[in-house]
């Protein structure tokens, strides 16, 4: 059974995050835990430093109320689902929860800096846990019919592939997206066939003159063209404290994806 944990803060895009997480849990017969963490005000105090100021008790109570409301709306009918309130920030929540879950579900980034981005980077590069990015969509994703797999043969892509196996086995269709000029990966085809995942389709995207963000846009366009329910890809970069350490293509994906994205670093 796949174990998912969705992290929410009582603000922002909680409902969409839980909608995607609950839909994926239903589609896979998995178990979902929802964790509400405390937010904090983050103020710049230097070129590479941040000061974290705890929020007031009134704000904390309002955030908890919003989190409980989003949970009741999106997850109350999901078997074995529970809401945990954690008396810590998102970084500590990720550090505590990641060893006990297969996938961390986070909201799609609206900005590529600040505390949300730092938490996102920590989940991928520090905890080394697979991360599912939820889109800001009203769609429930109760079925994973078509998976798009971004493939380049790297270790990161391989870890994302293995993390995505429960999704790939449920899918009726799998499309492998490779950058233009790449040959179809026979080793990948054999590996998927060994796991009972076939047939698969190979599709090229982009061109050789694109920037990092341009490749990200091309991958998103190819994902949309295939009408995939889920994009699986490796994440590239590193955790560098308070800055988002993603490569430019990964940054574009996690801030703009119209469908859920499963990433592994």
- What are the pLDDT digits (tens) for 107-152? 887 776 666 777 788 888 888 899 998 887 767 778 889 999 999 9
Contact yes or no for 107/131 (Cβ under 8 A)? no
Encoded tokens for 206: 């982009």
- Provide the pLDDT for residue 90: 85
Contact yes or no for 42/79 (Cβ under 8 A)? no
Q: What is the mean pLDDT of residues 200-224?
A: 92
Comparison of pLDDT for 33 and 53, the residue scoring more: 33
Contact yes or no for 265/159 (Cβ under 8 A)? yes
Contact yes or no for 8/33 (Cβ under 8 A)? no
Q: Is pLDDT of 158 > 60?
A: yes
Q: What confidence category does residue 52 fall into, taking pLDDT thresholds of 50, 70 and 90?
A: very low
**Per-residue model confidence as pLDDT tens digits over 217-231:** 999 999 999 999 999
Give Cβ neighbours of residue 21 (< 8 Å, ≥ 6 apart).
Answer: 4, 6, 32, 34, 75, 105, 132, 134
Q: What confidence category does residue 47 fall into, taking pLDDT thresholds of 50, 70 and 90?
A: very low
Using omega within 30 degrees of 0 as the cis cutoff, is the peptide bond preceding 232 cis?
no
Taking the CA atoms of 232, 236, 240 and 244 in sequence, report the sign of the dihedral they define: negative
Q: How far, in Å, CA of 130 to CA of 146, rounded?
A: 19
- Provide the pLDDT for residue 41: 46
Q: What is the mean pLDDT of residues 176-189?
A: 96
Q: What is the mean pLDDT of residues 232-255?
A: 70
pTM, whole model, 2 decimals?
A: 0.87
Contact yes or no for 64/9 (Cβ under 8 A)? no
The full set of domains in the chain, from first to last, is 3-134 (3.40.50.620), 146-264 (3.40.50.620)
Q: How far, in Å, CA of 88 to CA of 232, rounded?
A: 30
Contact yes or no for 146/175 (Cβ under 8 A)? yes
- Provide the pLDDT for residue 68: 96
- Provide the pLDDT for residue 57: 54
Lowest mean pLDDT among 40-44, 96-100, 166-170, 205-209: 40-44
With pLDDT > 90 as the criterion, what percentage of the chain qualifies?
Answer: 58
- What pairing do the DSSP bridges indicate for beta strands 200-205 and 173-179? parallel
DSSP string, the chain: --EEEEEE-SSTTHHHHHHHHHHHHHHHT-EEEEEE---EEEEEEETTEEEEEEPPHHHHHHHHHHHHHHHHHHHTTSTT-EEEE-SS-HHHHHHHHGGG-SEEEEEPPSSSSSHHHHHHHIIIIIS--EEEEEPS-S-------EEEEE--S-HHHHHHHHHTHHHHHH-SEEEEEEETTPPP-HHHHHHHHHTT---EEEEEES-TT--HHHHHHHHHHHHHHHT-SEEEEE--B--BTTB--B-HHHHHHHHH-SS-EEEE-
| Average pLDDT for the chain | 86
Q: How far, in Å, CA of 172 to CA of 145, rounded?
A: 5
Q: Is pLDDT of 55 > 50?
A: no
- Provide the pLDDT for residue 251: 81
With pLDDT > 70 as the criterion, what percentage of the chain qualifies?
Answer: 87
Q: Is pLDDT of 200 > 90?
A: yes
């Amino acid at each position: 059974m796949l174990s998912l944990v969705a992290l929410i803060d009582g603000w922002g895009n909680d409902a969409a995050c839980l909608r995607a997480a609950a839909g994926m849990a239903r589609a896979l017969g998995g178990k979902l835990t929802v964790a509400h963490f405390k937010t904090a005000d983050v103020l710049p105090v230097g070129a590479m430093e941040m000061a974290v100021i705890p929020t007031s008790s009134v704000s904390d109570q309002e955030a908890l109320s919003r989190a409980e409301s989003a949970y009741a709306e999106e997850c109350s009918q999901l078997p074995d689902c529970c809401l945990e309130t954690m008396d810590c920030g998102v970084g500590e929540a990720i550090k505590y929860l990641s060893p006990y879950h297969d996938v961390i579900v986070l909201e799609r980034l609206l900005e590529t800096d600040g505390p949300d981005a730092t938490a996102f980077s920590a989940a991928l590069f520090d905890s080394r846990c697979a991360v599912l990015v939820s889109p800001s969509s009203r769609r429930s994703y109760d079925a994973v019919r078509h998976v798009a797999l971004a493939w380049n043969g790297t270790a990161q892509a391989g870890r994302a592939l293995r993390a995505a196996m429960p999704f790939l086995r449920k899918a009726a269709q799998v499309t492998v997206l490779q950058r233009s000029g790449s040959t179809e990966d026979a080793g990948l085809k054999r590996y998927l066939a060994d796991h009972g995942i076939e047939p698969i389709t190979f599709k090229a995207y982009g061109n050789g003159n694109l920037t990092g963000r341009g490749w990200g846009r091309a991958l998103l366009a190819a994902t949309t063209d295939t009408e995939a329910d889920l994009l699986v890809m490796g994440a590239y970069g590193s955790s560098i404290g308070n800055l988002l350490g993603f490569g430019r293509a990964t940054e574009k994906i996690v801030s703009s994806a119209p469908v859920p994205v499963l990433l592994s670093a």
